[in-house]
Amino acid sequence: MRMSSAALHPVAGVERALVTLDLGGRRIGLSRGQAKLLRDRMAEDAGRSSVARDLSLLLDRALTCERVLVLRRNETRALTQTAIQLGMTDLVAELVPAAA
């Protein structure tokens, strides 16, 4: 089953408490709580957007295994919009440069 253009890659030396995102070669860490909130909101939007569906599944998988979630620009934009809706201002500040 092809999930999206995002990819999960093994993590080397990253603390397990984080979900690591690779945004155009720049890595940022999400707390497990942030990743769960984003996953849940993306799952709610899954019926309207295949990108949201794919990201919810990938975030869920990233929460359970030590992988880096590599995102493309459109996926980063979708994640940024969801973070804005959730009021995650610190995360938005990190995501915006990669979404542009």
Taking only the tens place, the pLDDT of each residue in 51-97 is: 999 999 999 999 988 788 999 999 999 999 999 999 999 889 888 87
How high does pLDDT run on average in the chain?
Answer: 83
Q: CA distances (Å), 64 to each of 9, 21, 53, 89, 98, in order?
A: 13, 14, 17, 25, 25
Within a domain: 99: no
Domain count, the chain: 1
Residues 38-51 have a mean pLDDT of 94
The pLDDT score that the predictor gives to residue 76 is 92
Within a domain: 42: yes
Within a domain: 94: no
Within a domain: 18: yes
pLDDT band, very low/low/confident/very high, at 98 (cuts 50, 70, 90): low
Asked if the model's pLDDT at residue 4 lies above 50, the reply is: no
Range of the domain at 56: 7-88
Within a domain: 65: yes
The pLDDT score that the predictor gives to residue 65 is 87
Within a domain: 93: no
Contact 36, 29 (CB under 8 A): no
Within a domain: 97: no
Contact 72, 24 (CB under 8 A): no
Within a domain: 38: yes
